[in-house]
Chain A
């Protein structure tokens, strides 16, 4: 190759004023300290979707706790003479076939749904995260056993299993529905927890904790679980909505809550008969159910975005 003579390139250096030299690795002491949870909150509160779903969830919870604040009517008091009447003063949603006030039934229906949803989620998170954490952290035979058991549960659809089991009970209460849904719902959380724990347990800070003498159980409780909490919270929020749907499905099929307890599912079922003459009879309980479930699923979605470590700077 012939020797190339390129034009002379001079030695350039910037003056110090234009690029002031910072101290190497200076700690920024001005910013307020922020834990991951605080940062998650900062990113959450900028999302309109968070505020919409939070307002809806707060409203539904309030309605479930204190239905009498919203209506003075008894949902069980029906007069056949009002059967399928359109809305009038004091009865904004009109009447169903039995002549019951749809507004008060929709209000009172929230309690059953929210109770079943919240309690089932608690049961599921408790069982699922404990089993999942032990399986993921210790591995071995317990992990193999849990994986196969959850496989079996995954093969059975939640609602189908609940239908089969609920058939056996004559005297059904909110507790029965919660227990049945909980028993068939925990494997999902167990799987999620197991995965989260397994991805955390090989981190260097876990090895550091071992090296300084922490026991295995203490390491699991103090380091592994707090770092696996995010996916569990997200899944729990979304499945809360799913359990509300499951309860409504069971009540719709008539094997869920008894008619003495007002439930959106049962009201939807009853409304079918009047669907042609008065569609609004179906619309209100179904709308309330959809809105409640939607608000929990939306919440799960924004929480997932806020807790996703990849979305933020490391």
Chain B
């Protein structure tokens, strides 16, 4: 990623680096709701000096994005600044007129939005959209602008930029779109770039490339960056100064290294302790160790897998081919989603299937759940070939393998109370009578540490983590042997994620469950898995014990994935 930057209007940060570029003091942002004024951000202080990278870290709902949007006066809906001041380069933004703010946007403050899929207009060519940024800020016009567009796209790391500028967003991958958005944000050479979770929708390896490039670019241009993320490891790796937000307040701020090594506020301590990207050990079940201590992270003893355990699942040369509709009738294309995949899972252990989007890992999960049939190959479940099951046997098999899905908002029927949701599998399989089922639901809720009163509630009243607990309770209702977790913790906040992982692990120790853990996040794998299979474009490229994969990766691709874990390079 080395290239020379064009010598076009580069605004180098003023020599005076002692005057803050952005100074937020006692900022308060409130939203008008049906129940009155609700403050989303309370008393936030934040300083960004010219050329500095500052990261705001927090979980969803902590007010980090709201703070960022207040800076460019793009608060959504009924939100407005109710107190405090935002001083940007000598201009008070809270009292500035709309005209002044429009002059600042783009030209002085650039924004890289979160979702690259929805932030480009699908009906305009990429080049036109970059040119729009140039024209709106009065940088260039006509053919000069066209030449500049190519330069900007090239600079954002887009290969073959002149041709790419003539393409539409749907012809771009997620990473390429994010590069185009970076080109737009930096088109007018702003002094401050606000990057709102710029890479959370992308695969880890792409994320790393883009962040590396962005860092290199802003350093060269002397642009200050306000980086917003939920990932403490990522923030610590990319920013020199961290601001940790919790429930609309800044709970801790300071130099990144200092916060990581000596967090002072209990919330930050909690965050540092459970950030998956910073953990380096498998969670050991407190119950399995016979201790009740809060210390749940302990080094794995040996390979963590007993050799004497029997194989419960044997996957043999699994292949799945999908037929895609072609451009004209009859012109069907085939797509090999899973290509000759074999692995075995031992009873009571966790097998992680790791890969980036499109690697075929979810297809394997669906074949495992017997929701789709493999094209070739077979899965043996305790010696029975799944493809030979008749309808009745299949019904019985359903009791033994249960799924937990990624999206806690989509996996529970919004019309069903929690009681009905957890009771449904029991009713479907005619287990017990009404009274015994009620007792079973109570026990299951206890098992996943939810209060029993939850069962009268509906999914829309619960948070993501709580819904995921309900989904786990539903999966456990039929006392299955194997649970397929398809990205089961990816959508959750870090602390909640750590809780759910601990819960899954305790349940494994208590009930002897076997997990097939599908994930894109290697950091999570380290915490839960005994065995790892790394998948790439439908094939398994590496398969070994977790410790071996992490300490001694054999394949280049695995090494690349490991290096892309945010915070992997941090030592403290």
Contacts and interface: CB of A to CB of B under 8 A. Distances in A.
Interface of A: 1, 4-7, 9-14, 16, 18-19, 21-22, 24-25, 27-29, 31, 33-36, 39, 46, 203-205, 207-214, 218, 223, 226-227, 309, 312-314
B159 interface: no
Binding site of B, secondary structure by majority: helix, strand, loop or mixed? mixed
Given A6-B49, A33-B457, A205-B412, 4 more contacts: A25-B463, A36-B414, A39-B460, A223-B415
Contact of B499 (A25, A205, A210): A25
A13 B415 contact: no
Given A7-B49, A208-B411, A13 B405 contact: no
A17 to B, nearest CB: 12
Contact of B17 (A5, A10, A13, A218): A5
Interface in B462-504: 462-463, 465-466, 471, 474, 478, 495-496, 499
B156 interface: no
B114 interface: no
Given A9-B255, A25-B463, A35-B417, A213 B399 contact: yes
A25 B466 contact: yes
Contact of B268 (A13, A24, A35, A209): A13
Given A1-B220, A11-B264, A207 B405 contact: yes
A25 B496 contact: yes
B249 A313 contact: no
A208 B249 contact: no
Contacts of A11: 252-255, 258-259, 264
B398 A36 contact: no
B424 A212 contact: yes
What's the interface size class on B, roughly?
35 or more
A27 B268 CA distance: 22
A209 B254 contact: no
Given A21-B267, A27-B462, A34-B461, A12 B456 contact: no
Given A25-B466, A33-B461, A223-B413, A4 B17 contact: yes
Contact of A29 (B34, B249, B453, B463): B453
Interface of B: 17-18, 34, 45, 47, 49-52, 219-220, 222, 241, 246-247, 249-255, 258-259, 264-268, 270, 369, 371, 394-395, 398-399, 401-403, 405-407, 409-417, 424-425, 428-429, 450-451, 453-454, 456-458, 460-463, 465-466, 471, 474, 478, 495-496, 499
Contact of A13 (B247, B252, B401): B252
Contacts of A46: 34
Q: Can you list the 3 inter-chain pairs with the closest CB atoms, starting with the nearest?
A: A11-B254, A213-B398, A204-B411
Contact of A210 (B258, B371, B453, B471): B371
A166 to B, nearest CB: 41
B458 A14 contact: no
Nearest to B469: A25
Contacts of A313: 460
18 contacts: A4-B50, A6-B18, A13-B254, A13-B264, A16-B265, A18-B249, A19-B247, A21-B270, A24-B270, A25-B496, A29-B453, A33-B457, A36-B414, A211-B403, A212-B398, A212-B428, A212-B478, A213-B399
